[in-house]
Amino acid sequence: MQFRFVHDMVHVELSADFDVEGELAVARAHQRRILSYGFDEHSLEYQMITADTAGQTLLHDATGHFPVSQIEFVTACINGGIAAAIETEKRRLRLHAAA
């Protein structure tokens, strides 16, 4: 819940819309914040914020849905990259819809 507040406040700070472009701008701001804390682009913290913000934005843009399981999606992003995680989530969404 706290992250949602911080996330939405970044939208306000940047005057960023809630469309893909605005969400990706906010994701980049979160990434910069993580870097300012001393983490690098290979850190788990950076990968998690990237998956949670940019990854979910790109997933929603591709499918119109958010992940069935956020933790599984973020883990898939970290382990195999965002593009592979989106493909895995598309299969998961099809199975979920068929059930």
Residues 29-73 have pLDDT tens digits of 999 999 999 999 999 999 999 999 999 999 999 999 999 899 999
Q: What is the model's pLDDT at position 27? A: 95
CA 43 – CA 27 distance, rounded (Å): 16
For the record, the structure tokens of 56 come out as 């979910």
pLDDT at 3 over 90: no
Question: Position of tokens 């870097």?
Answer: 35
Contact indicator for 68, 45 with CB cutoff of 8 Å:
no
Confidence of residue 8 (pLDDT cuts 50, 70, 90): confident
Q: What is the model's pLDDT at position 63? A: 95
CA 74 – CA 89 distance, rounded (Å): 10
- Please give the full DSSP string across 32-94, using - where no structure is assigned: HHHHHTT--TTSHHHHHHHIIIIIHHHHHHHHSS--SSHHHHHHHHHHH-HHHHHHHHHHHHH
DSSP 17: -
Confidence of residue 7 (pLDDT cuts 50, 70, 90): confident
Q: What is the model's pLDDT at position 1? A: 67
Domain with 57 in it: 2-98
Number of domains composing the chain: 1
